A = this chain, B = another copy of it.
Amino acid sequence: MSKRINVVVWNEYLHEVEMEEVRQIYPDGIHNTIAAHLRKNSDISSVKTATLVQPEHGLTEALLAETDVLLWWGHGAHEKVEDEIVQRVYDRVQAGMGLVVLHSGHASKIFSKLMGTNTDELKWREDGTCSTVFTVMHNHPIAKGLPDSFVVPQEETYGERFEIPTPDDIIFISSFGGGPEVFRSGVTFTRGLGRIFYFQPGHETYPVYHQAEVLRVIENGVLWTAPDEMTKPIQGHRPLD
């Protein structure tokens, strides 16, 4: 029997519209490339997409209420995401919704709000060199089916200190071809009843989301952050009987 996971892939969707080189790689947008992959998984029952320019950024109360896992890709327009929608996503994560944050989504309002740190801070450089992603925790469900390491042929360089709290688990650590930088590239957190996975690869000017290993990590991240059936905590005033 399959799980019944409802997924929404959120994408800023500006670079693909505005930049020819990105549009050639992702003619229908990064969100649709990722969504098409996720639809092949039989544990995932629905995959919808949402983007910045839609009313409420496409993230209505009704949609989020039935969403099990939300993916987030953003880059240049983090500040244009309305605080009300950020709060809505935050509330859903607290209630158990999974969240998969991709690449430059590290600097999004929602990721920073959930982490409690300035997650936009890290070293970076667009030099288009390769990146090697090493599995550090081979027995984690997010590493399932992945090799001991794999190479992303062209990627933006991200380097530590990445301004995140100590992760629950570090599943991947990456190095980069153009310099000595290292990066905790696959990390998990828990906030409220929700599970969060951040994954670094995915610069928009390279075809990273067409690479099988990257798609597999994202797919695993969706399965792992999807909430199990769970008992809600009893909280509040509890008088003695």
Contact = CB atoms under 8 A, between A and B. Distances in A.
B231 A146 contact: yes
Interface size band for A: 35 or more
A122 B149 CA distance: 14
A230 B144 contact: yes
B145 A231 contact: yes
B189 A181 contact: no
A141 interface: yes
A235 B138 CA distance: 12
Q: Is the interface of A mostly helix, strand, loop or mixed?
A: loop
A66 interface: no
A175 B181 contact: yes
A132 B175 CA distance: 11
A130 to B, nearest CB: 8
B163 A166 contact: no
Contact of A163 (B122, B231, B233): B233
A136 interface: yes
Contacts of A231: 135, 138, 143, 145-148
A234 interface: yes
A237 B127 contact: no
A40 interface: no
Residue among A173, A177, A178 with max Cβ neighbours from chain B (10 Å): A173
A228 to B, nearest CB: 5
Given A115-B116, A231-B143, A232-B138, A189 B165 contact: yes
A201 interface: no
A160 B234 CA distance: 9
Interface in A116-132: 116-118, 121-125, 127, 132
Given A145-B229, A177-B180, 7 more contacts: A96-B139, A132-B182, A135-B233, A143-B231, A148-B233, A149-B234, A159-B238
Interface of A: 1, 94, 96, 113-118, 121-125, 127, 132, 134-139, 141, 143-149, 151, 157, 159-161, 163, 165-166, 168-170, 173-175, 177-182, 184, 189-195, 227-240
10 contacts: A117-B192, A121-B233, A132-B180, A132-B182, A134-B182, A139-B230, A145-B231, A160-B233, A165-B191, A179-B240
